[in-house]
Amino acid sequence: MAAAVEVHDLQKRYGTLAAVDGIDFTVSPGTVFAFLGPNGAGKTTTTEILEGLRNRTAGTVSVLGLDPWSQGVALHRRIGVIPQDFRFFEKITPKEAIEYYRTLFHTVRDPHALLERVELADKANARFESLSGGQKQKLGLALSLVNDPEICFLDEPTTGLDPHARRSIWAVIRALRKEGRTVFLTTHYLEEAELLADRVAIIHHGRIIASGTPNEIIEKYGGPERLRVEAPPSLASYLTTKLGIPASAEDGRVEIELHSKEDALKVLSTIDASGIPWHGFETRHDTLEDVFVRLVGQMDEGALRSEGSA
């Protein structure tokens, strides 16, 4: 099956600034692809190039087999786009907005069903200006579905929304995937990517610094499993001396890396034997967020490149 999105050596320069500096990735049909990166990393520029809203400087881009810039009109009939901070005509209601889009796209979608789908049916006749941030975003989502798109582009769809609104947008994204649509998602929220995405790419300073499934990325770039107990800092130095494994203390907690199952038992019995008061233990893996923060931080310090060449 042909890729839904195929990007090869994509570049976008503004004068001397390279907003996107030669990136490659592929999105398989029917999957959720999350595109992550700090602010100004090149996420929105890349997304807009894929949507046909911005021209590229160099490289090849194919979305549903079309060139987004030169074949934008044909492409727009087959994709749905929700930008960051969706805005619409202030005096128009969600129902009228959907009727408007329905006529523009010449489709027969029931406005009520679409609004129900994004949990906005109760606001069908409220003016856009009176909607909350989450409700406006939901209307954007509903409008992007009017043309029954094969790919949905969602650019930070949940930024600034309350947890409840965020969860209802997640539900819609899951449903889109279930229907066999491809979802291209950019987000700040790593938790969101980890929950929803089949594959993830992290972009920083215009380059992709990691890509794969969330688990692959965590496995590749994340640290080992760690055991964490609530105890005074003296326990950390005790453990380091006794076991020769580095341990750290912070905020009344002591953390020690585990490299095997045996390590866990050894550490726990050493703690117990120390006589230092402790309680409540847990083990934790790095999350995508931990990996993201570490990768971006390392790169900003210029450490990543020197490590890579070493």
Q: Footprint of another protein on this chain (CB under 8 A)?
A: 48, 51-55, 72-73, 76-77, 79, 81, 83, 85-92, 96, 99-101, 103-106, 127, 143
Nearer to another protein, 51 or 286 (CB): 51
Minimum distance from CB of 2 to another protein (Å)?
Answer: 23
- Residue count of the chain: 310
Minimum distance from CB of 237 to another protein (Å)?
Answer: 56
CA angle (173 as vertex; 168, 175 as ends), nearest 5? 95
Nearer to another protein, 72 or 133 (CB): 72
- Helix, strand or coil for residue 79? strand
Minimum distance from CB of 162 to another protein (Å)?
Answer: 22
Nearer to another protein, 79 or 236 (CB): 79
Minimum distance from CB of 165 to another protein (Å)?
Answer: 20
Neighbours of 223 (CB within 10 A): 12
d(CA 298, CA 282): 27
Task: Decide if 75 contacts 153 (C-beta within 8 A).
Answer: no
Minimum distance from CB of 140 to another protein (Å)?
Answer: 8
Minimum distance from CB of 49 to another protein (Å)?
Answer: 10
Minimum distance from CB of 36 to another protein (Å)?
Answer: 22
- Give the CA distances from residue 256 to residues 73, 267, 268, in Å, rounded to whole numbers and listed in that order: 56, 8, 11
Nearer to another protein, 85 or 219 (CB): 85
d(CA 149, CA 182): 9
Alpha-carbon Rg of the chain, whole angstroms? 24
Which secondary structure element, helix H or strand E, spans residue 268, and what is its range?
helix 261-274
Amino acid in position 259: H
Task: Decide if 107 contacts 113 (C-beta within 8 A).
Answer: no
Nearer to another protein, 104 or 265 (CB): 104
Torsion sign, CA atoms 262, 265, 270, 276 = positive
Contacts of 127 (CB under 8 A, 6+ apart): 90, 91, 92, 93
DSSP assigned state of 73: H
Q: At what angle do helices 133-144 and 163-178 cross, to 10 degrees?
A: 10
d(CA 108, CA 30): 24
Nearer to another protein, 139 or 196 (CB): 139
Nearer to another protein, 37 or 52 (CB): 52
Nearer to another protein, 157 or 214 (CB): 157
Minimum distance from CB of 153 to another protein (Å)?
Answer: 9
